[in-house]
Structure 1
Amino acid sequence: MSSSIEEDYDFEMHWTNAYRKTPVTSLGWYEETPTKSLELIGECNLAEDAFIFNAGAGASTLIECLLNDGFTNIVVNDISASALVELKNSLSKHNHSNVEFIVDDLTNPSSLLKLKNVDLWHDRAVLHFFTSEEQRINYFNLLKKAVKVSGFVILAEFNLEGAKKCCGLDVFNYNEVMLQEYLGADFELLKSFNYTYTQPSGNTREYVYTLFKRSA
């Protein structure tokens, strides 16, 4: 964790308060249409029953888009139960049997340790909040345990020119080389690009989007 955050800081309560105090559509990371994620997912050519895992999903609109596209095997995770309640409520017109909701900490997992044979791991704006090396190692260990050979990983995080704080928390910025180093030689970088995201407030945030495929 960042030196400015106490070791026992309650991240679950932090994110719960964020979702309780602010309308979802006003949150700094809200996307009405997650265009860049959908473009990269499209390049994976996944079957409709592919196992898609969305790390730190919050109330992401991506899940509704995936359901609209016919995907039937989606697991979403967040450290905040309140965030997942918001997400579940937004999917009221869909069959919830196609989505599993897991409240857990990506850096100190319990239920998530059961993940295996993941066809696509998707993370937008989650990994960059893990500011200690221990948190990052735990995250990538979980990812490597879960993603199958020939599976895909999409990581979209604040890039090196991006903001250093978000939602009152410090962040750890990345480029594609750094993400490759954490993933290791078993993952091949298929595509990367920088992207300027415009928040609901009109402010902008600089991201790096990456698509990897596991080769071994």
Structure 2
Amino acid sequence: MEPKDHWEKIYTDKKGTEVTWHQLKPVVSLQLIDELNLSPDDPIIDVGAGSSTLADFLLEKGFLDLTLLDVSSSALENSKRRLGDKADRINWLVSDFKDLKSDKNFKLWHDRAVFHFLTHETDRERYREILKGHLADKGYFLISTFASDGPDKCSGLKIVQYSQEALVDEFKEDFTFIKSTKETHLSPKGLEQNFIYCLFQKNT
């Protein structure tokens, strides 16, 4: 099954609030973003946004240039319905990250649980290439994956578990590591999932 078909099925068969990675409020991401002191008009992209509520809270904080990208149109439609009239304030992209086309130089690239699905080095190389090409100089990259003591699968797909050191190694060529933190996420059914978050800044 192609990735798009897989994720369309996930978001068609389940409500956005029923998937294991759902968060009522993405607290850790929001805390790390707050520390960056970004300007309201700084362009931000959430890659693999799914039906995440991150955009809801970023809009509340006054951010004006938000782009949500996901391969699943069903996932983004869930968010559009939830946001109502506020959905018009967001740029919506139904696309695989590998096919990202945007003329924006993003100040922040946020990825919660896309990169860990890339089990082949060629896909990770492509990710780094796309990231570098669409992030402004001195822009920020906030990534979250399953931690080294987290699950080894998600939605029936194998993933790559990461430690802080492993993520730093993946991005050290073009990015400076700033900080990391861990989170134990509780799924809607109460299952614990350990995540690692790493914040980087793009080198000039």
The TM tier, using the shorter chain, reads over 0.9
Distance 2:183 2:153 in 1: 18
Distance 2:182 2:34 in 1: 18
Residue ranges of structure 2 left out of the alignment (5+ in a row): none
Contact 1:116 1:145 survives alignment (8 Å): no
Aligned residues: 204
What TM-score do the two structures reach when normalised by structure 2?
Answer: 0.96
Q: Which residue of 2 aligns with 1:66?
A: 58
Q: Which residue of 2 aligns with 1:105?
A: 96
Structure 1 SS opposite 2:151: coil
Q: Out of 182, 187, 197, which is 1:194 matched to? A: 182
Q: Out of 169, 176, 180, which is 1:181 matched to? A: 169
Q: What is the RMSD computed on CA atoms of the aligned residues?
A: 1.2
C-alpha spacing 1:116/1:94, structure 2 compared with 1 (3 Å): closer
Q: Which residue of 2 aligns with 1:49?
A: 41
Distance 1:186 1:146 in 2: 13
Structure 2 SS opposite 1:26: coil
C-alpha spacing 1:172/1:147, structure 2 compared with 1 (3 Å): same
Deviation digits for residues 183-203 of structure 1 (CA, Å, limit 9, x no counterpart): 234311111022111111100
What is the CA distance between 1:129 and its match in structure 2? Answer: 1.0
Identity over aligned pairs, percent: 35
What TM-score do the two structures reach when normalised by structure 1?
Answer: 0.90
What is the CA distance between 1:115 and its match in structure 2? Answer: 4.5
Q: Does 1:212 align with 2:200?
A: yes
Q: Which residue of 2 aligns with 1:17?
A: 9
Distance 1:128 1:51 in 2: 24
**Worse-matched range after superposition: 161-170 or 182-191:** 182-191
Distance 2:72 2:140 in 1: 25
Distance 1:133 1:105 in 2: 17
Residue ranges of structure 1 left out of the alignment (5+ in a row): 1-8
Distance 2:103 2:7 in 1: 23
Q: Which residue of 2 aligns with 1:114?
A: 102
Q: Which residue of 2 aligns with 1:5?
A: none
Q: Out of 66, 72, 75, which is 2:67 matched to? A: 75
